[in-house]
């Protein structure tokens, strides 16, 4: 009976989200429904605010607004410009170079921002405009903008992986380390598809600026790129926790933005206001989902789900694939953040009980859920790119289809070859 109520609760949540009810409200209403049907009604008015506050009262959760702040700083034209320039010079002279530039720059941006939407609405939009001005068709340029932005979900510091780690009680450092190889595979795959399309459609390319000009721009970009070294080196070298690393990188970016890039005080105030707004939206969802996760644990819903799954099959790999298929379907209809905060607390218990490594499951599960950002009918990145470019939604989907092949191939590689995920975490942190 409990499994039935869990299913009905998720169904209500899906319907509300599909009707464009705000994520926090959808999760909250569904949580209250679940509380009533399962009998958790004693003092629930007191329990809800307590669990919401407790869910945000975490040193790890503090990293979320810090990484949003980093994303806002990196998005500032004065800081992004040198990285923007050297990345374009690195691949702009390839056939279809501006599309390759979109992919490579998104990879670099991902290594600091952790936000796919920030990438699509910020630097990727600027690359789209440059591509159109250079003679690329709008539909292909918009598709490249949407597809490349998904790298921010996989390449650390990924905010979705932070949310998974907080919700499933899995080391964020291990999740980030585990996502590096899948992220690189995605980037390489996207660039290979772009190269094939560029040759087939005879896309234009930039003139190579010469080694001296490239080195000059690379040196100019070193202060901004050094932030990636501080972040990755600090976390994977065991010097900082992710939260501490984010704070250090913010301090570093503020210093170089004032001393080297002449970012004004007014700009910094605006960046902090935007950070507060964006962080509040995410943290409100985290707070509401904390109550939902507590209820699932309190009613032992994960145990019921484990029994139900094992009743279907006891083969670990088959269980993994079945769960991922469900994730893939849910991702098409629901918000990524909401899905992670709803599913991670349950799967954090289910995965090790059915023989799946929690880090492996967290990375692959997040990757599969992130596909929903590019798939109709929800497709958050598709809507963002459609809004900022004006290109028809369906046309973006059509032009993105070749890149979906890469997503599927990388998902299959990570499922059937767990070492692609677990090797680096074991190397950095031990088994």
**265-309: pLDDT as tens digits:** 899 999 999 889 888 878 888 888 777 777 777 777 666 777 777
Residue 274 domain boundaries: 62-283+297-429
What's the pLDDT score for residue 1? 61
How far apart (Å, rounded) are the C-alpha atoms in residues 213 and 216? 5
- Dihedral angle over CA of 325, 328, 329, 334, nearest 10: 150
What SS3 state is found at 357? coil
Task: Give me the chain's average pLDDT, please.
Answer: 82
**Domain contains 44:** no
Establish if 16 belongs to a structural domain.
no
CB atoms within 10 A of CB 46: 9
In a domain, 35, yes or no: no
Q: Is residue 2 part of a domain?
A: no
Give domain status of residue 11, yes or no: no
How confident is the model at residue 294, as a pLDDT?
74
Residue 76 lies in a domain: yes
Identify the pLDDT of residue 119: 64
- Quick one: what percent of the chain has pLDDT higher than 90? 16
Q: What is the pLDDT of residue 409?
A: 94
If phi > 0 it is left, if psi is from -120 to 50 it is alpha, else beta; for residue 346 that is: alpha
Q: What's residue 89's pLDDT?
A: 80
Number of structural domains in the chain: 1
Question: What pLDDT is stored for residue 123 in this prediction?
Answer: 67
Q: Is residue 407 part of a domain?
A: yes
pLDDT digits (tens, 9 = 90+) for 103-137: 887 777 777 766 666 666 666 667 777 777 777 78
> What pLDDT score was predicted for residue 179?
93
Looking at residue 40, its pLDDT comes to: 67
Residue 237 is predicted with a pLDDT of 84
- C-alpha 82/C-alpha 75 separation (Å) is 12
Signed CA dihedral, 397, 400, 405, 411: sign only: negative
Please state, in angstroms and rounded to a whole number, the distance separating the CA atoms of residues 391 and 51: 43
Asked if the model's pLDDT at residue 2 lies above 70, the reply is no
42-51, 375-384, 395-404, 413-422: which has the highest mean pLDDT? 413-422
pTM for the structure as a whole: 0.84
In this predicted structure, what is the pLDDT of residue 331?
79
Cα–Cα distance for residue pair 190/212, rounded to 1 Å? 29
Joined together, the tokens standing for residue 413 give 């590689």
Establish if 1 belongs to a structural domain.
Answer: no
């Amino acid at each position: 009976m409990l499994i039935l109520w869990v299913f009905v609760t998720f169904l209500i949540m899906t319907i509300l989200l599909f009707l464009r009810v705000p994520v926090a409200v959808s999760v909250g209403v569904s949580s209250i429904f679940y509380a009533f049907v399962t009998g958790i009604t004693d003092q629930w008015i007191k329990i809800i605010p307590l669990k919401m506050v407790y869910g945000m009262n975490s040193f790890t959760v503090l990293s979320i607004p810090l990484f949003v702040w980093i994303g806002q700083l990196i998005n500032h034209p004065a800081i992004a410009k040198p990285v923007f320039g050297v990345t374009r010079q690195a691949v702009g002279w390839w056939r279809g170079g501006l599309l390759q530039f979109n992919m490579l720059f998104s990879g670099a941006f991902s290594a600091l921002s952790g936000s796919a939407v920030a990438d699509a609405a910020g630097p990727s939009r600027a690359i789209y405009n440059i591509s159109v001005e250079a003679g690329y068709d709008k539909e292909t340029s918009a598709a490249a903008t949407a597809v490349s932005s998904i790298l921010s979900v996989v390449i650390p510091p990924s905010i979705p992986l932070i949310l998974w780690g907080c919700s499933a009680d899995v080391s964020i450092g291990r999740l980030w380390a585990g996502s590096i190889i899948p992220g690189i595979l995605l980037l390489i795959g996207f660039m290979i598809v772009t190269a094939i399309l560029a040759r087939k459609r005879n896309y234009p390319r930039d003139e190579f600026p010469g080694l001296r000009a490239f080195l000059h721009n690379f040196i100019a970009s070193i202060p901004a790129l050094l932030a990636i070294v501080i972040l990755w080196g600090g976390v994977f070298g065991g010097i900082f926790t992710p939260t501490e690393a984010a704070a250090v990188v913010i301090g570093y970016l503020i210093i170089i933005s004032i001393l080297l890039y002449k970012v004004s005080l007014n700009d910094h105030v605006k960046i902090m206001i935007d950070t507060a707004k964006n962080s509040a939206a995410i943290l409100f969802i985290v707070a509401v989902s904390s109550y939902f996760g507590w209820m699932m644990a309190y009613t032992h819903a994960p145990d019921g789900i484990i029994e139900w799954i094992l009743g279907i099959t006891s083969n670990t790999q088959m269980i993994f694939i079945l769960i991922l298929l469900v994730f893939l379907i849910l991702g098409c209809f629901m918000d990524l953040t909401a899905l992670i905060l709803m599913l991670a607390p349950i799967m954090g218990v289910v995965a090790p009980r059915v023989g799946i490594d929690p880090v492996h499951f967290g990375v692959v599960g997040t990757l599969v859920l992130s596909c929903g950002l590019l798939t109709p009918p929800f497709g958050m990145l598709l809507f963002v790119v459609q809004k900022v470019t004006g290109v028809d939604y369906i046309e973006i989907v059509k032009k993105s289809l070749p890149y979906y092949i890469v997503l599927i191939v990388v998902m299959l590689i990570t499922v059937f070859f767990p070492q692609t995920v677990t090797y680096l975490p074991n190397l950095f942190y031990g088994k």
